[in-house]
A and B are shown apart, each in its own frame.
Chain A
Amino acid sequence: MRRSGRGAWPYLFLTPAMVLFTLFLAVPIGYTVWLATRRTKVSGLGLGRGARREVSVGFDNFSAALSDAELWHGWLRVLGYGALVLVVMLGLALLFALLLDSARVRLARFSRIAIFLPYAVPGVAATLLWGFLYLPSLSPIRDVLEIDFLGASTVTYSMANVAVWGGTGFNMLVLYTALRAIPRDLYEAARLDGASEIQIAVRVKIPMLTPAIILTTVFSIIATIQVFTEPSTLRPLTNTISSTWSPLMKVYRDAFVTGDLYSAAATSIVIAAISLVLSFGFLRVVRNRAFGEG
């Protein structure tokens, strides 16, 4: 009796988590998969009752999503944008974290907050704010620089700029926190060995930071794959961003603009699969280097 009672306890504790997981994760994913295998079929004019019914189409929506050239163009655009954001944002975040952690820094508190603050601005607001700065007749920048920020060749950089502005602070904080967790006596030992501050940063701090850098990189890969807010918010302001600029924008368009939930469901599953492959692929590549000795 006591044994079986004890055996049931863990399940009881697990129940809330399992129920929430099922309701808000497993069921929606299952529903999406189910939707992705269906399609509406209308007959005749398609008006009035009974003219429209849902039919099963197997993997048709998936093959349509995979063979859609526009979707792959979207991936290419996002890849270019993502590479830019990843390198610049994480580079800046690492630089700021190291600077803030160095012994000689002044105004550390203020700088930390100032760098982090843009992260607190919601993406839509940040993009609108930058949008105003990009528009020719409103922008004070445009008074000085003769650059069309929303042109076909520049719009990717303009969007990446918004993402970098908003994301650097968060990544900086993650890296900075990891830096503070490194035992100080390591630096002391390095200093006794005659290492300069820069040598300490490159030879001690960055290697010790590797797990945190990997974590922020994976976060950022996932975030850039899902880029949606910046291009959708800038789209009304320029004719250089199409409704299918990024894969997620295409999902939104299919589901809510052209009313094809089924294709949208199939495409979002494809996106999830690619996100998984990219994130785990990256982890596989770096795992041995980062954690091989541990």
Chain B
Amino acid sequence: MRANRLGAALAAVLTATLASCGSSEPAASPEAAQSPAAAATGPVKLTYWTWAPNMDKIVAAWNQEHPDIQVTVSKQAGGDDAAAKFLTAAKAGNPPDLVQAEYQHLPSFVAADAVADLKAETASIAGEFAEGLWGLVTLGTEGVYGIPQDSGPMMLFYREDLFDKYGLSVPKTWQEYADAARALRKKDPKAYLGTFSSKDPGAFTGLAQQAGAQWWSISGESWKVNIADEPTKKVADYWGGLVKEGVIDDMPYFTPEWNKALNDGRLLTWPSAVWAPGVLESNAPKAKGKWAVAPLPQWNAGESFSGFWGGSSTAVSSKTPNKAAATQFATWLNTDPAALDLLVKEAAIYPASTKAQSALGQAPGYFSNQPDFWQQAATVSAGARGFTFGPNVGVTYNTFKDAFDKALQNKTAFSGAVQAMQDATVADMRKSGFQLAS
């Protein structure tokens, strides 16, 4: 009798186990379920997935002016998870009408046929964006898969006060950066000039772009994957050497540990993107007014290159019944002067639109000591170079984390991790059947 009861309890537990194992199928999110079908009467209703702060306020301005097209913002977590969620929702058949799409994820969205081609609707606004940025939404093809919203040209953020204290000068080249890193360790063994994060493939991508990397490209009907190219290996081994030498730390960005190091003045620089002031303001509030910005150090003296870390576009879901209305909203959001003004003020983004970039005036509050912040950003932006992202960035970025984690742990060469990224990316594309040029 007792055995029977135990058996029944176990059966219940085991079935529960199976149920949880079986739940890997796409689950519809509550937001997605609200995605409206074309309403026969009344205004067109659109849902918009985004994680830009205060987007609801910006959308409110649109809704007031356009009673016939009402947009509802659904706030997302952002990052890679947001991309995965959108792809899952698209596969399940109930995606939002509009989605914030980071440039590196856009090709995955296109490959999954989750976003619409807006070529016809966007012909008139293509000229409002720099060619490099526009290339990120066309992927170098005939189509247009999103409207650029913001961009993240990389710059060097540094602690001006501590540079003065330790007698360091702002590094103009990566060689000088390495020398400064060594000098600082001698002056204060507790502080580091910077850290290499094995958790942020986006940052590494930007640094590789600066060095001239070209991870993916399209030639004719096939993809070319060249992640382990010379510029990338050079960047990887540069950082790997500094970490091994012990002059650069290896703690990941965006952890409580990192916040504390920033607040305590134990990290003196952060090669980051133009959106860094917002992060510093919330993660290192104590150091307000002590940070300054400079262009990234260069590989060759006299150059002025940069790369991109982050930046996103507004894409329209291929499944939306209201493509025209959605495109109209996306166009307004990213090209209308009033909307751009709100984007800058409320969402604190660095706009992709060329004319909006030049209209930026007052420096972000955290950098009130640097009135020429936006002029610097514009200069850097002009020298920033990117590349077309491939259709399986998820695999590449995930391999980055695992391979660089392992390289840090085993103290092996970083270029080996880059090779692992290349191999995993090619293997995955081959398995899916993508045409690859050798």
Complex partner residue of A272 from B18, B81, B111, CB under 8 angstroms:
B18
* Pair B9/A45 contact, Cβ less than 8 Å: no
* Pair B111/A226 contact, Cβ less than 8 Å: no
Tell me if B311 counts as interface (CB < 8 A to partner A). Answer: no
Residues of A179-214 contacting chain B, CB below 8 A: 211, 214
Tell me if B261 counts as interface (CB < 8 A to partner A). Answer: yes
* Pair A43/B24 contact, Cβ less than 8 Å: no
Q: Give complex CA distance A251, B24 in Å.
A: 8
**A residues in contact with B20, CB < 8 Å:** 226
Tell me if B199 counts as interface (CB < 8 A to partner A). Answer: yes
Tell me if A52 counts as interface (CB < 8 A to partner B). Answer: yes
Knowing A222-B17, A242-B405 touch, does A261 contact B26 (C-beta < 8 A)? yes
Question: What is the CB-to-nearest-CB distance from A283 to chain B, in angstroms, rounded to a whole number?
Answer: 7
**A residues in contact with B199, CB < 8 Å:** 236, 239
Q: Give complex CA distance A146, B2 in Å.
A: 50
**B residues in contact with A258, CB < 8 Å:** 392, 394-395, 398, 428
Question: What is the CB-to-nearest-CB distance from B139 to chain A, in angstroms, rounded to a whole number?
Answer: 7
**B residues in contact with A52, CB < 8 Å:** 111-113
Q: Give complex CA distance A29, B21 in Å.
A: 8
Interface residue tally on A, bucketed by range:
35 or more
* Pair B111/A51 contact, Cβ less than 8 Å: yes
Closest-by-CB residue of A relative to B16 is: A222
* Pair B222/A259 contact, Cβ less than 8 Å: no
Knowing A243-B398, A272-B21, A294-B2 touch, does A45 contact B435 (C-beta < 8 A)? yes
Complex partner residue of B409 from A239, A256, A276, A294, CB under 8 angstroms:
A239
Residues of B16-34 contacting chain A, CB below 8 A: 17-26
Interface SS of chain A: helix, strand, loop or mixed?
A: helix
Question: What is the CB-to-nearest-CB distance from A141 to chain B, in angstroms, rounded to a whole number?
Answer: 14
Interface residue tally on B, bucketed by range:
35 or more
**A residues in contact with B2, CB < 8 Å:** 211, 291, 294
Residues of B209-258 contacting chain A, CB below 8 A: 218, 221-223, 250, 252, 254-257
Q: Give complex CA distance A48, B119 in Å.
A: 13
Stretch at the interface among A5-13, A72-80, A96-104, A131-139: A131-139
Complex partner residue of A242 from B17, B112, B406, CB under 8 angstroms:
B406
Knowing A40-B432, A243-B401 touch, does A136 contact B257 (C-beta < 8 A)? yes
**A residues in contact with B42, CB < 8 Å:** none
Most central of B111, B218, B404 by chain A CB within 10 Å: B111
* Pair B409/A152 contact, Cβ less than 8 Å: yes
Q: Give complex CA distance A271, B394 in Å.
A: 24
**A residues in contact with B395, CB < 8 Å:** 258
Tell me if B38 counts as interface (CB < 8 A to partner A). Answer: no
Q: Give complex CA distance A287, B10 in Å.
A: 13
Q: Give complex CA distance A42, B391 in Å.
A: 11
Q: Give complex CA distance A255, B21 in Å.
A: 12
* Pair B256/A138 contact, Cβ less than 8 Å: yes
* Pair B24/A47 contact, Cβ less than 8 Å: no
Q: Give complex CA distance A29, B407 in Å.
A: 39
Tell me if B123 counts as interface (CB < 8 A to partner A). Answer: no
Contact with B along A253-294 (1 / 0, CB 8 A): 101111101001100110110011001000100010001001
* Pair B408/A257 contact, Cβ less than 8 Å: no
Q: Give complex CA distance A63, B434 in Å.
A: 22
Tell me if B71 counts as interface (CB < 8 A to partner A). Answer: no
Contact with B along A28-44 (1 / 0, CB 8 A): 11011001000011111
Question: What is the CB-to-nearest-CB distance from B216 to chain A, in angstroms, rounded to a whole number?
Answer: 11
Knowing A218-B13, A272-B18 touch, does A239 contact B198 (C-beta < 8 A)? yes
Residues of A10-28 contacting chain B, CB below 8 A: 24-25, 28
Question: What is the CB-to-nearest-CB distance from B134 to chain A, in angstroms, rounded to a whole number?
Answer: 17
**A residues in contact with B10, CB < 8 Å:** 215, 218, 279, 283
Question: What is the CB-to-nearest-CB distance from B90 to chain A, in angstroms, rounded to a whole number?
Answer: 11
Tell me if A49 counts as interface (CB < 8 A to partner B). Answer: yes
**B residues in contact with A32, CB < 8 Å:** 21-22, 24-25
Contact with B along A204-239 (1 / 0, CB 8 A): 000000010011001100100010000000001101
Tell me if A161 counts as interface (CB < 8 A to partner B). Answer: no
Tell me if A46 counts as interface (CB < 8 A to partner B). Answer: yes
Question: What is the CB-to-nearest-CB distance from A149 to chain B, in angstroms, rounded to a whole number?
Answer: 12
* Pair A240/B21 contact, Cβ less than 8 Å: no
**A residues in contact with B302, CB < 8 Å:** none
Q: Give complex CA distance A251, B108 in Å.
A: 19
* Pair A259/B108 contact, Cβ less than 8 Å: yes
Question: What is the CB-to-nearest-CB distance from B265 to chain A, in angstroms, rounded to a whole number?
Answer: 13
Question: What is the CB-to-nearest-CB distance from A171 to chain B, in angstroms, rounded to a whole number?
Answer: 14
Q: Give complex CA distance A51, B264 in Å.
A: 52
Knowing A28-B23, A28-B25, A47-B139 touch, does A256 contact B433 (C-beta < 8 A)? no
* Pair B252/A236 contact, Cβ less than 8 Å: yes
Q: Give complex CA distance A86, B14 in Å.
A: 18
Complex partner residue of A44 from B18, B80, B222, B254, CB under 8 angstroms:
B222
Residues of A within 8 A of B (CB): 24-25, 28-29, 31-32, 35, 40-49, 51-52, 131-132, 135-138, 152, 211, 214-215, 218-219, 222, 226, 236-237, 239-244, 251, 253, 255-259, 261, 264-265, 268-269, 271-272, 275-276, 279, 283, 287, 291, 294
The 7 closest A-B pairs by CB, nearest first: A239-B405, A256-B84, A28-B22, A272-B21, A268-B21, A29-B22, A291-B3
Cβ contacts A to B, 7 pairs, < 8 Å? A46-B433, A137-B257, A137-B261, A261-B25, A268-B22, A269-B21, A287-B3
Residues of B within 8 A of A (CB): 1-3, 6, 9-10, 13-15, 17-26, 80-81, 84, 87-88, 91, 107-108, 110-113, 117, 139, 141, 143, 198-199, 218, 221-223, 250, 252, 254-257, 260-261, 264, 391-392, 394-395, 398, 401-402, 404-406, 408-409, 428, 432-435
